[in-house]
Amino acid sequence: MIIGLTGTNASGKDSVASYLEQKSFRHYSLSDILRDRLTQEGRESSRENLIAIGNKLRQEHGPSVLAEFTLEKINSTKGYVHFVVSSIRNPAEVSSLRRHKGFVLVAVDAPLEIRYKRLLSRSRLGEGVSNVDDFRKYEERENSFDPSAQQISSCIALADYTAVNDSDFSSLHKKVDVILRQCGQTPARPSWDAYFMGIAQQVSLRSNCMKRNVAAIIVKDRRIISTGYNGTPRGVKNCNEGGCPRCNGYAEGGTKLDECLCSHGEENAIVQAAYHGVNINGSVLYTTFSPCLWCAKMVINSGIGKVIYNTNYPLGETAKKMLEEAGVELQFYSFD
């Protein structure tokens, strides 16, 4: 889950972010990117400078640049499940973050008079602001309709939830807790087929074949009991090192199969189970390609009861008919 925070000046966005950090959310602030840039330029991180540098970056690199950069950080972060992203000030940033299916935008707001008093107590009022009316006009000037500028009111209008911070921290935290209960449902887990086929795809990355990377896993009682990927037999030079002349010669599909030294993924998964004395009778085979005729024979005789495949093998129609005749259930699986 990614909780995005937007809202008015001195509304309590940082307080919400800090509270979520206590709940093991990893915090990223879009303003930190701007502060880093100002530091590099030797400039003060004043509110005016932050707004100016933010507008400049959006003009130069697109209005969603800060969100895109933050999403890259999130995608590379290990060990965290939930994130909070603060300082969202442009609708394009919201659109970019919404590409993550777990994104929720929360607007934090408070009455103008309360926010004015907070800034007054912190000595953080803008230049020329001496009363509430000045503060109102100051905020109106900050709100632009320029696509590359900050548009707080437009972001607030896009919010999924709003937390009004018009009391103490305890009250604000309770409101955040309510929002978390409403939006923080456990995300849908992948189905068993998606789970096992995804693992099969990862196993295929171990393939050393020059022609095609294929893998299969054998599952029984929802437990993986064997895996295999295509490549030359144990002790024979790897295909990608020149071990198989047919694959390294890029033979036309369907030709010279009798010269291929590579074992198929399904074949290796079945053989590995036999090698280690693992019973695969009644199991399910997940394979990234539908079995060829040779592998189909092995599937039938090994007692595998079901084959789930992700891609059609070009020469697999005879194999499919034989599997069906033998009573092996066939199922196509698509990630779409």
Residue 93: active-site member: no
Rounded to the nearest 10 degrees, how much is the dihedral formed by the CA atoms of 274, 280, 281, 282?
-160
d(CA 300, CA 311): 20
Residue 232 and residue 55: Cα distance in Å, rounded? 57
- CA–CA distance, 278 with 270 (Å, rounded to integer): 9
Q: Where are the alpha helices (DSSP H) in the chain?
A: 13-22, 30-40, 47-61, 65-76, 91-97, 112-122, 132-142, 152-157, 169-183, 192-204, 245-248, 265-275, 293-302, 317-325
How far apart CA 309 and CA 312 sit, in angstroms, is: 8
Residue 226 in contact with residue 255, Cβ under 8 Å? no
For residue 108, list its beta bridge partners: 7, 163
Q: What is the 3-state secondary structure (H, E, C) of 252-287?
A: CCCCCHHHCCCECHHHHHHHHHHHCCCCCCCCEEEE
For residue 331, give the amino acid letter.
Q
Looking at residue 12, the DSSP 8-state letter turns out to be S
Q: Which residues pair with 227 in a beta bridge?
A: 217
Single-letter code of the amino acid located at 14:
D
Of the residues 93, 139, 266, 267, only one is catalytic, namely 266
User: Active-site residues: which are they?
Assistant: 266
